[in-house]
Each structure stands twice: as structure tokens, then as C-alpha cells.
Chains A and B, each alone.
Chain A
Amino acid sequence: MTRKKRRLMVLLLAGLGLGTATALTLTAFQDNLVFFFSPSDVLANPPTSDRAFRLGGLVEAGSVERGTGADGRPAATFRVTDGANAIPVTYSGVLPDLFREGQGVVTLGRLLPDGKFRATEVLARHDETYMPPEVADALRRAGHWNPAQGAPPPAETWNTAPRAREGRSGG
């Protein structure tokens, strides 16, 4: 009887632990999953401004402008492109060391009603030849690069690629 009781107790405790862990995971998932979208995804299906997401692609060559924001903090604006479409991004803060025009970038933030993406984080990578997998996937989906055929084409060609010019929203 005591052994049976003890076993039941242990099972109950384990169930409680597992249940709590599952419940916690699910509630936390509900609010905190961050989706990744490419510029084409955002234009096709614009997320609401209350939901943070990650925007990734290549930094469009010639689009980076550094200045000072309204609050006196250093700020930057640039465009993130997947070859087919581009989204303007504003960022207040210091861009990471490996931030370069024509290189892969992943930014975290929200889409403002005016269609600009306000980034709170621009993710740095350790390796300049490294392409974030989501970015590689976004470029592949936009039909501008097949990763199987080697490294991405040089940055300058992204802006002049015909589909990139057509798809641009703001000039």
C-alpha cells in the first residue's frame, strides 16, 4: 500500500512538473515567437505594427545613410532587399562591425503604418562570408540566387537586376 501510494505520488509529481513545463512553454510561445519575413513576404502580407518580427535580406548597395536621430542618438536608414522587393529600415543605434552594403543582414523590429520598418536590433555575424540561412532562403525564393550555384553575385548587381527595379516601392 505504501509503495503503491509512493509510486502514485511520484507519478503525480512528475505529471505536475511536465504539465507545468508544457503549459509554460505554450503560453510563452503564444506571445514570444518571432517570425522571419523577407521583403517580398512583408509586401505580400504586411504584419500589423504591434507584432515584432525579423526582416532579412541583403543590404541594398548605396542605400545606407547614417545620421543623427531626433533624440540625438546616432541613427541609420538603409534598405533591405531580396532582389524582388525592398523595405526601408530605420535604426537608432550603432550598426554592427560586419554590417556592409550588399551583405546579408537580419533585423528585428516592427513595421510602422507608413511602410517603414523600425528596427530595434540589427544582428551581427562573426564571419563576413557567412550568409544567415533565412536570408539565403529568402533570396532563393525571390528567384535571384541559387545557393547550389555558389556564392551570391556581387552586391552591385542586386540593385540593377531587372526584377529588383520593378518591384521597388519607393524609388
Chain B
Amino acid sequence: MIPELGHFALALACVLALVQSVVPVVGAARRDVRWMGTAGPLAAGQLVAVAVAFGCLLWAFAVNDTTVSNVVANSHSAKPMIYKLSGAWGNHEGSMVLWVLILALCGGSVAAFGRDLPTALKARVIGVLGWVAAGFLLFIIFTSNPFDRIWPPPPDGQGLNPVLQDIGLALHPPMLYLGYVGYAVTFAFAVAALLEGRVDAAWGRWVRPWSLVAWSFLTLGISLGSWWAYYELGWGGYWFWDPVENASLLPWLVGTALLHSAIVVEKRDALKIWTVLLAIMAFAMSLLGTFLVRSGVLNSVHAFANDPTRGAVILALLMIYVAGAFALFAWRAPRLAPTGIFAPVSREGALVVNNLLLCSIAAVVLAGTLWPMFADILTGAKISVGPPFFNMATAPLAIPLVLAMPIGAMLPWKRGDVWGAMQRLWWAACLSLGIGFLYLAALGYPVWPAIGMALAAWLIIGAAADIADRVALFRRPAQAWQRAKGLPRAAWGAAVAHAGMGVTIAGVAGMGVATDTLVALKPGESARLAGYEWRLEHITDVQGPNFTARRAVVTVMRDGATVTVLSPERRTFQVDRQTTTEAAIHTNAMRDLYAVLGEERDGAGVLRLHNNPLAPWIWFGSIIMALGGGLSLSDRRMRVAAPAPKGATAPA
């Protein structure tokens, strides 16, 4: 009964979305206030309907309803409750429902928080969100119904892939989707602006918080995924340039560009056409990511839904939305006359450079990600593009970007000079160069990690210099505290986010000098790595809730003193007949000691030991970046609604 209710709620949401995609937009075109007024209630209704559907799906997983084929395929009664629930979105159908739920949530919050939005713009934005929601709801109902029944019901489910039974993966999709779907809102704003034929500072003020929200969640989502890969897959790495990782990085790159160009629209009323284009591109990349993950066209660790029809439908949706938006763009963009003039060397100019470099990186990553697919279609050659390509092609673009970050933040609007900014940054430059050389000397000349460390220091110190300059810390130290309190939160947010990027780069640079070894040890034997002695004590059997495991106990010692005891496991899940490795990680924030237990042979256990300096900084930095986003979002100017521009509702 409950699954039917969920199915009905999905259908209802679909009908509401279809109405929502027509009535408010037509109303806005005809200047009919009553028709435009339906936008809010329709968005709210759609949200309630999708939430009910999602609730029903959760219920089916919670009680392990084996008459629902999705539950049978992805759950089992012996799983802990949290993974029963997270299993609801750990599969294709359920994750699409989550996608639509978050979209509905965004639509609902535009309706709820957009009270001061010009009525016509609001109606159009919600209407465009309705187009997106309708497409994906139709997709779910016709190709991936999560509530399909199965008869006769099997006695129990087949279980969820054990590597997905993890807290990191329970949170990773919702975070990532908040990011992906957040760009649906900026897309809706862009399309609405094109329909309206006007982009102004008020529009920028509305787009910026949404792109900030999407960016912050996407940052967290990507970093959660990378963290999960680090501790769960047990390969000791954090980023593999896997197509699906790239698929999440692409919207992040374009979204970061959007975030910065939206500032220019808001502050200076310039770069309007470009910002609209970026908003469309960011959503296109999000949809492309969804397509790559869902279709299985690319060979990837995430390819769990290998269904060509679904891939084709998502590709069709992508084509319709993106091609439609581009057509609209080509038709309407000339109406968005450029205003706000600025000199090449200015804050605006720096943000243009930022956009250019970010988009170039995105283009390189896109080419490397999609090329295997095109090569297969065009020449039939099966090729793959690995980390060496991405490292080699993105580094020459990423380095100037990082170098420009603190300088750009120091330049004034309209007209500035680089030497003026450098005068205030020279000590930061010297300090970071010194740190780079120190790293180089201390670790025996690893060139790339040292460059990374210098860049990281440049970002962190540069962000500090920016704040110090703004509060006049050195010129008038007495009033610095007063000035710091008066500084807009957005300025703090930018500095914090830039510094967070620096922390992440420091982590990456630290991982550049990571060492590992592979040893076969009998109990009592020990191995040496990175100045530590790793002694295997014993290997025992352990019984978990739905698995049995072999657990090794490894004592790590330095100079005779015990540093930590690591217990890596090899788990065997009876239901899925699968084995997973659980890495044991000891961290002291500066270094991860990481051990993985491999197979056992002749009484010896194979152990892979890693020494990962600064590894936690990678994820710590991304949390700082997201915090910076949040700080910027809490700026008073963002919360105060944009005043309605004159003539917003008057006939054109």
C-alpha cells in the first residue's frame, strides 16, 4: 500500500511540475498576476508530493519490504538501520528520487525566500525549475520506477554492495546533489533573465547566493567522495581522475567561475552575458555528470547502472535543456547590452582571468574525460586517459590561477595596478618562496611537492595579507579590531575560502612525498617505513553485524615507544559473497599512518603500509572552503533582499 502511495505521489508531483512549467511562465509573458501567483503554491505542492514519495521509499527500505524490486535488489534485513535507509539512495532509482527531492526543495525555497523577487522573474524562475523537474520525474516514472513490485516476493533482499555500506557514502550523494541541483537554480535564473531580456545588479544579487550554496555543497560532496575513496577503497590515494570524479569536478570548475563572475554582475553591472552563459554551462556540466554516472558509457568505479535506455533518456534531457538554453541565449543575449566599463588591470580584469583559466581547466578535463568515448565511436579504438594526462595538462593552467588569486583579491574595482598590489604582497611572496625552498631542502629535492607547498603558502599568507590590508593592521593597529568587525562577511568569506584552497593544496603537496611498502609478515615480525617500525602482532577472526572479518593488529613504534595500534580488516559479507578491505588509519593531523590487510598465505599476512604526510589537510581544506562559502552567504547584504528594480511589473 505504502509503495503505491509513493508511486502516486511521484505521478502527482509530475503533474504539478508540468503545470508549474507552463502556467507561471505564460502568466509572466501575459503579465497576468494571478497566473504568475500560482508559481509558489505549485512549487510547494511539488515539494510535498516528492517528499511523500521519498518518505515512502525510505519506509519500504526501513521495513525491508521484499515485494518492492528495488528493495530486493539493494537491501537486506540483516543490514544496520542506517545503511538500510542510506541504501534507499545508494542505487539508481532511489538516487534519482533524491535528485528530484532536492530540486523540489530548491524550488520551494525560491518560492519561500523569494518574496521580494520581482513577481515576473520569480514566476519564470520557478517555471524553468518546473521544466527540469518535469523532465526528471517523467524519466523516473517511465524508466526507473523505484516502487516496482515483484511477485512472488523473495524471502529476503540481495543486499547492498558492501563498499557502499559506509557513513561517507551515506552522506556523499545528498551533498553532491545539493551542489548539482543548486546549479539548476542558477540555470533557471539565467533562462528567466533571457526570457525577460534583462540582467541587472539585482539579478546578480539573487544568483550569487544560490551559486554560493551550490558551490559550498559541491565542494563538500566532492571532498566526501574523495575521503571515502581514500579510506574505504584502501588504495591509499585520494583522487584518481576517474571519469566520474571528473564529472563532479567539471561543474565545480565552471561553478567556481560563475561564483566569481556573479560578483562582477552584482557590483559592477558588467560581464552579464558571460555570467548567463556560465550559469547555463554549470548546469550543463551537472547534467553531464549525471549522464556519465547513470549511463555507464564510461568505464568507472561508479558504473552501477548500466542501462543504455536510461543513458539515452538522460542524454536527451541534457540536449533539450542545454540546446534549448543555448538557442535562447543566441536569440536573446544581444539584448543584454554590456554596461560597466573597466580597465584590463582591475578586480574585474582579474576575475576575467580567473574565469578564463578555470574554464580552460574545465575544457581540458572535459576533453580528457570524453575523448575515450569519442575515440571509441569514431575509430573503434579502446583507449583510456589516465592521471598523467590530467596532471600534465592542468598544472600549467592551475599554477597561474593560484598565483593570480591573492593579487586579484587585492586589486581595486574599475582600475588598479599590479605593482601596487604586489607592494602589499611582497612579504607574502618572499615568505612562501622561503617555505617552498625549506620544503625542497628538508625533503631532498622533490620539485613538484615543493612548488605545491610554495603555492599553498602563497594562498594562505596572501589571504592573511588581504585581511591585514583591509583592516589596516600595520598602519593603524589600534583600530584594526574595530575595522575587522566592520569588514563585510563576504570579504572574510573570500579570504577564508582562498586560504582553504591553500590548505588543500598543502595536503596534495604533502601527499606528493608519501611513501608506501608492501610486506608479507608473520605474527611477531616487523617492517620499517618512514622511520616507524610496524609490527604485526596477530591476525584474528571478528564477527560483525552482517559480515565476518579477519583483523590484523599492527603496533606502530618509533624509537621503541608505541605510537599507535592499527587494526586493518578484511571483511567477508555472507549475503553478497563479497570481500572488502577496511584500511586502518591513525592520524595526528600532520600525518596519516595507513595500513591495509591483504590476503593471507602460509601463516603470513600481506600488509600494505602507507605514510601519508599532511593527507588530512586535503579534506580539512575543503571544509574551510565550504565554511568560507557559508560565511560569505551570511553577509548582511545577501540577506537583505534586493530592492525591486523600477518597472519590474510594468508593461514593457
Q: Which residues of A contact B (CB under 8 A)?
A: 2-3, 6, 9-10, 13-14, 17-18, 20-21, 24-25, 27-29, 31-37, 54, 66, 68, 72-74, 92-95, 97-98, 108, 124-128, 130, 132-134, 137
Contact = CB atoms under 8 A, between A and B. Distances in A.
Contacts of B341: 2-3, 6
A35 B299 contact: no
Nearest to A54: B384
Given A32-B385, A73-B520, A97-B580, 7 more contacts: A17-B360, A20-B360, A21-B360, A34-B383, A92-B518, A124-B233, A126-B304
A127 B364 contact: no
Nearest to A19: B360
Contacts of B608: 94
A93 B608 CA distance: 9
Interface in B356-374: 356-357, 359-361, 363-364, 367-368, 371
A18 B606 CA distance: 48
Top 4 closest A-B pairs, CB basis?
A36-B382, A94-B598, A32-B389, A28-B393
B386 A35 contact: no
A36 B375 CA distance: 12
Q: B interface, by DSSP: helix, strand, loop or mixed?
A: mixed
Contact of B303 (A14, A27, A98, A130): A130
B364 A21 contact: yes
Nearest to A132: B299
Contacts of A54: 384
A34 B382 CA distance: 9
B385 A66 contact: no
A108 B531 CA distance: 31
Given A21-B364, A24-B397, A35 B519 contact: no
Interface in B459-502: none
A143 B595 CA distance: 43
A37 to B, nearest CB: 8
A94 B385 contact: no
B161 interface: yes
B234 to A, nearest CB: 9
A50 B580 CA distance: 34
A125 B161 CA distance: 11
Contact of A34 (B384, B393, B606): B384
A28 B386 CA distance: 10
Nearest to A95: B599
Contacts of A128: 577-578
Given A21-B360, A21-B363, A126-B161, A34 B397 contact: no
A97 B578 contact: yes
Contacts of A66: 599, 601
B163 interface: yes
Contacts of A32: 385-386, 388-389, 392
B163 A126 contact: yes
Contacts of A97: 570, 578-581
Interface residues of B, number: 52
B352 interface: yes
9 contacts: A25-B393, A29-B371, A29-B385, A32-B386, A34-B384, A74-B598, A97-B581, A126-B161, A127-B161
B530 interface: no
Q: A interface, by DSSP: helix, strand, loop or mixed?
A: mixed
A166 B429 CA distance: 68
B225 to A, nearest CB: 14
A3 B339 CA distance: 11
B301 interface: yes
Contacts, number: 119
Contacts of B443: none
Given A10-B352, A66-B601, A35 B364 contact: no
A34 B386 contact: yes
Nearest to B599: A94
Interface in B82-106: none
A18 B360 contact: yes
Nearest to B389: A32
B312 interface: no
- Which has the most chain A C-beta neighbours within 10 Å: B299, B344, B363, B368? B299
Interface string B389-418: 110111011000000000000000000000
Contacts of A73: 518-520
Contacts of B580: 97
A103 to B, nearest CB: 12
Interface string B546-572: 000000000000000000000000100
Nearest to A36: B382
A21 B352 CA distance: 16
B383 A35 contact: yes
A141 to B, nearest CB: 10
A35 B379 CA distance: 12
A19 B578 CA distance: 48
B78 interface: no
Given A36-B383, A97-B581, A21 B344 contact: no
Contacts of B397: 20-21, 24
A102 to B, nearest CB: 14
B606 A94 contact: yes
Contacts of A126: 161, 163, 301, 304
B327 interface: no
Contacts of B299: 132-134
B441 interface: no
Interface string B574-610: 0001111100000000000000101101000010100
A10 B368 CA distance: 26
A32 B608 CA distance: 28
B599 A28 contact: no
B381 interface: yes
A68 B599 CA distance: 13
